[in-house]
Amino acid sequence: MISYSPTPLQPLNLTEAGQRGIKIMVKREDLNHQDVSGNKWWKIKYNLEEARIREKKTLLTFGGAFSNHIYATAAACHEAGLKSIGVIRGERTAPLNATLQFAADHGMHLHFISRGNYKLKSAPDFIASLHGTFGDFYLVPEGGSNAPGIRGCMEFAEKILSQLTFDYLILPVGTGATMAGIILGLRGRGKIIGVPVLKDGGFLKHEIENYLSKFPGPLYGNWELLTSYHYGGYAKVTAELARFIVMMQAEHNLPLDPVYAGKMMLAVLTELKNGFFPDGTTVLILHTGGLQGAAQLYPKSQRKIRIP
């Protein structure tokens, strides 16, 4: 088991929200672990447990060159005493970027493959070829988006989020697995709003429905996606988004990353101005971590500020 630190609620004091009696709180799950932060902690928890049950000594997973998942998996396996292999999309460059150097420093073997081959990452023949190269391993899909990963996010919702007061719960969406787990764990409570960080993110509705269908129980309809806040697509950063992230750090002591939390937070403030949230409601924002991706925007010393 990897270590976990309880995380605070940070109030976000915005003039317009206050005038309308809207309470906005940020669940700072980015502070749950120094390196395996946010939803990554919950998505990897039961994958590590499953590897232990199957007596696997090595965990293999996939990601891009700036992947939060690769970063977190390397740290988690290092802490748990497991070997790790990261299958990385694209060619190796020298020197390694900060994300991949961190992974390598934490014992992860980096295996670079072409973008064409990366598209085959779920194909049985390709997986078999990886076993031929690396031997026995426990496989975790890109982003930790599998049944054990969803189970961890479901537990987070059941044990922690369900104890909080809110009308709306907002979170960023990459693969949809975290949102699926939270929908399942909250069991119809509140309105859950996902903000896809990918361009043309409407397809994620089907992905989330597919995840939900694999778990027993009712099909909950208390959720929707806001697909207009990708700011150019995955890992794209506009000048507007960059300025907003720096402003939120300076004015609200809230560090955000440009890939996930920054886009989600800008969506919340935009929708607040547009009247999306009714007067008198409570909005809970889930900070899912990934602040290692914010290095390009402000110094490292500002990225892990603890809230009393």
Q: Which two tokens stand for residue 132?
A: 């031929």
68/66 Cα distance (integer angstroms): 7
- The pLDDT of residue 247 is 94
**C-alpha distances in angstroms, 84 versus 34, 51, 101, 218?**
19, 11, 14, 37
Ranges of residues in the chain whose predicted pLDDT is under 50: 299-308
- Domains within the chain, CATH numbers bracketed: 9-34+150-302 (3.40.50.1100), 39-144 (3.40.50.1100)
90 within 8 A of 112, measured Cβ to Cβ? yes
| pLDDT tens digits along 181-228 | 999 999 999 999 999 999 999 999 999 999 999 999 999 999 999 999
- The pLDDT of residue 293 is 66
- The pLDDT of residue 105 is 98
**C-alpha distances in angstroms, 52 versus 45, 75, 109, 137, 166?**
11, 17, 20, 11, 36
Q: Which two tokens stand for residue 48?
A: 């590590």
pTM of the model: 0.92
